[in-house]
């Protein structure tokens, strides 16, 4: 039942991401991914707000997990990254927070490049086999 609730929350978050990001794509002709930025920032705000509220409440994990892992995870994993970085800083783990922030961003972007280059290599060298 827990997994089903998380999956349903994830589906809801994914649809919400599509709708929110799509609003920008309909209006903005910018080269900058404003829709993704809006999703990431709004997700970070909502997860911070809910985390702060839930810390002071008796809401059981069975309700929290579908919201945090499902809805917000489907909406944007950036919100989880931001919350974990915040919690590390709040706990005085500044070096761990800095490592998390730098590693996630620098290595994440580097791995996008590596994955892209690998895909081009595979297409070039195994064009017939990939069809």
| Domain co-membership, 68 together with 105 | no
Q: What is the pTM of this model?
A: 0.73
Asked whether residue 106 is assigned to any structural domain, the reply reads: yes
Q: How many CA atoms lie within 13 A of 41 on its CB side?
A: 7
Kindly give the confidence (pLDDT) of every residue in the chain, 131 residues in length, as a single tens digit, with 9 standing for 90 and above: 899 999 999 999 999 999 988 877 666 666 667 788 888 889 999 999 999 988 888 888 889 999 999 999 999 988 889 999 999 999 999 999 999 999 999 998 998 899 899 988 988 888 776 55
| Domain co-membership, 104 together with 129 | yes
Asked whether residue 83 is assigned to any structural domain, the reply reads: no
Asked whether residue 84 is assigned to any structural domain, the reply reads: no
Residue 100: give the domain boundaries.
93-131
Domain count, the chain: 2
Cβ atoms of 75 and 14 closer than 8 Å: yes
Asked whether residue 28 is assigned to any structural domain, the reply reads: yes
């Amino acid at each position: 039942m827990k997994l089903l609730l998380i999956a349903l929350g994830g589906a809801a978050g994914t649809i919400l991401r599509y709708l929110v990001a799509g609003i920008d794509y309909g209006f903005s002709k910018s080269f900058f991914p404003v829709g993704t930025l809006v999703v990431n920032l709004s997700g970070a705000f909502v997860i911070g707000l809910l985390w702060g509220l839930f810390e002071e409440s008796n809401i059981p994990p069975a309700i929290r997990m579908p919201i945090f892992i499902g809805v917000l995870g489907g909406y944007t994993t950036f919100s989880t990254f931001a919350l974990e970085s915040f919690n590390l800083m709040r706990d005085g783990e500044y070096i761990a927070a800095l490592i998390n922030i730098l590693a996630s961003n620098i290595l994440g972007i580097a791995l996008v490049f590596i994955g892209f280059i690998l895909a081009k290599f595979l297409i070039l060298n195994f064009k017939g086999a990939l069809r």
